[in-house]
Structure 1
Amino acid sequence: MAGSERRGPGRAARRATAWAVSESEPESEPEPRCPGAATPAGSPPTAGPAGRPRRRRRTPGEAAARRQEREALEKRQRREAAAAWRLLRPERCLRLMEVCADPGLLKDLGSDAWVKVLSSLDCKYSFEPQAIPCSITWRRNMPNALSTPDGPVVKTEEEKEVLVLVEPEDFLKRLFSLTQSFVNAPSASQPDLNQVLPLAGLEGSSTKTYSLAVVGLDAYRRNQEQGRQQALSPGKQSPSSQPGPELSMTEEEILEALVVLQLWGNIEVLFLDTWQEFGQHVSVLTKAIAKRPYKRQLESQELPFCAAGAWASGVRVEKDGTGLWQVWKRQIQQFNRVSPATAAAIAEAYPSPSLLLQAYEECSTEDEKRLLLSDIPVKSDVSGKDRRVGPDLSRRIYLFMVSTDPDLVLDLST
């Protein structure tokens, strides 16, 4: 009993001391919660490591909504990319082109022929004054958006190609002036190409690619030569009938001037005989310009060297093995100077590579292996005469099938 009384006052004294300390000392900071502890409702998020506030966890509904937004954005981007790719297809890209021709091209009587060829194209064309007289430029009208309330927005892009038609007489005079300029000038100086095509005063001429077209140059020179001979005949010579010095240019001098235009000015000159050929050239050039974005898109993708068509798409091989023979035949056709008929003849004789290897193993000598395929007949649909594979191709296929040297040259003619 006495022991219990001694313990009681001591415990009470310690409790009083604790209360005294609690009342005299300021309140301490709350202990940090564990990472997994729950935060009371209505309290702000506690600070994480380095004093950064902890992220609030998303509810399942918010995560699903964000995922749906992301999927909708990706779907819209794929749809826009597919629509843009459809516009670049060869069968549709020509409809986006517009050929802009200078009205001066209609002055000649034979211009109806090339306008008729131009009207047969599946594209727009217009006649409006150009910066260079008698020239043709191209515009591409690309839709800017898939759909708008007021209709599709069209974005017009100027192409860099410019085709200039030059009369034969004017062309010879300009070419003669060019030859005189770089003959009389020092060899290190650049010839003045503005004498052939005045581009000094044109804005943005450095970003353009120019080409010249001359229609009927040979006929003009023949007519002028005949007129010169008639003028030199006795009793018919007159000062007004004397030809200009440009007609004295030889073929070599003209070719030298064309080389100067190509090297110094990157200007190509095309000589045509009729207006029909001029129209065909404009048609081919329009189609090539229209397909440029499509080809550029193909080159940016993987394996741009693959050609379009069935060869690029490959042969479909079914689970039952259908199509393996076509794959084997095309592999043989990859050899140099091997026609489809020759590859088909070898594939028919040995329908698989394993059968060909088995035939090589059955041969007794090395020469017999090399000449195993040489006597296989090949049917030719062109000449109608049967021929054979030959020893050279037979040797190359044998070395390809059995050799382990990666640097071995199969074709000795290369």
Structure 2
Amino acid sequence: MEILAIIKVEDFLNQVYNQIYGLGDYVGNTLISNCKYLIEVAGTSRITIIVCGVDEFFKKQKKTSNKNYREAILKDTEDPSNLKRPKKRKKNDENASNLSQVTRIDVETALVAVQVELGVNSRFFENPSKIADFVAQVAKAIAEKPFKLEKARTNFSWHIESYNVNCVKIDKSGAGLLKLWHQQLRQFNNVGPEAAQAIAKKYPSPQALIKVS
């Protein structure tokens, strides 16, 4: 069973902040504690956490930081008294301030800890449509997995495409397998009917040829 857990970018960064700067790895609302909860609820560690907009957050963070720095320089230049004037910090800005401290290295460190300790993977996307595409790919892979496993158990790994007009019919008794083997051999370059027949006479199946090699 595969679990895809989508986390809001603000919640994700808060959990990273708590894990790196705040409450530690094992208590509080950290990335590790959140992933442990997901594992407990899902009953499996085969979880991929998905976050949308991490790169965009860091781009805005850098842009805002540069803007604030320029404004501070201009204010201090115009009014030197600003250097001595204490700046009031609003409570509503505390969360934003915490997020502004999170760096890409912090994110990578937290994700490595989660993957090493819990085996949880992660994927970043820049918009919801990319997430939808990824979910569709995972769903398709899960749906096709039983068929691929069954196909891998067969003795013959080659399959003639169903749309081929020269496809060979094989009944339950195995009649037609030798003709199919001839066709498969002829798919190789410079292998004509005579060469295919000679090879098939000595090696009546792909399995026989594999054993020799």
* TM bucket, shorter chain: 0.5 to 0.7
Match of 1:212 among 33, 46, 49: 49
Task: Tell me which amino acid in the other structure corresponds to 1:195.
Answer: T
- 8 Å CA contact 1:328–1:352 kept in 2: the answer is no
Match of 1:244 among 94, 97, 107: 97
Match of 2:186 among 304, 310, 329: 329
Corresponding residue for 2:30?
195
State how far apart, in whole Å, the 2-side matches of 1:322 and 1:244 are: 72
Count of residues in Structure 1 that have an aligned counterpart in Structure 2: 173
Task: Tell me which amino acid in the other structure corresponds to 1:192.
Answer: Y
Match of 2:62 among 225, 232, 235: 225
Distance apart, 1:276 and its partner CA? 0.9
Corresponding residue for 1:378?
none
- 8 Å CA contact 2:39–2:45 kept in 1: the answer is no
Work out whether 1:175 is the aligned partner of 2:25.
Answer: no
CA shift in 2, pair 1:353/1:288, >3 Å: closer
State how far apart, in whole Å, the 2-side matches of 1:324 and 1:207 are: 43
State how far apart, in whole Å, the 2-side matches of 1:324 and 1:212 are: 46
- 8 Å CA contact 2:4–2:48 kept in 1: the answer is yes
Matches within 5 A, 1:90-105: none
The higher relative CO (CA closer than 8 Å, separation ≥ 6) is in 2
CA shift in 2, pair 1:271/1:195, >3 Å: same
Task: Tell me which amino acid in the other structure corresponds to 2:194.
Answer: S
State how far apart, in whole Å, the 1-side matches of 2:124 and 2:13 are: 12
Higher-helix-fraction structure: 2
Distance apart, 1:203 and its partner CA? 5.7
Corresponding residue for 2:131?
278
State how far apart, in whole Å, the 1-side matches of 2:148 and 2:197 are: 42
Q: CA RMSD in A?
A: 4.4
SS in 2 for 1:278: helix
Structure whose alpha-carbon radius of gyration is higher:
1
Structure 1: 5+ residue stretches without partners: 1-159, 185-190, 333-342, 357-405, 408-414
Work out whether 1:269 is the aligned partner of 2:119.
Answer: no
Distance apart, 1:195 and its partner CA? 1.9
State how far apart, in whole Å, the 1-side matches of 2:5 and 2:181 are: 54
Instruction: Give the share of equivalent positions with the same residue, in percent.
Output: 17
Corresponding residue for 2:3?
162
TM-score, structure 1 as length reference: 0.33
Corresponding residue for 1:255?
108
TM-score, structure 2 as length reference: 0.58
Structure 2: 5+ residue stretches without partners: 77-86, 170-174, 199-211
> Deviations along 1:92-151, whole A, 9 cap, x unmatched?
xxxxxxxxxxxxxxxxxxxxxxxxxxxxxxxxxxxxxxxxxxxxxxxxxxxxxxxxxxxx
- 8 Å CA contact 1:213–1:271 kept in 2: the answer is yes
State how far apart, in whole Å, the 2-side matches of 1:324 and 1:162 are: 42
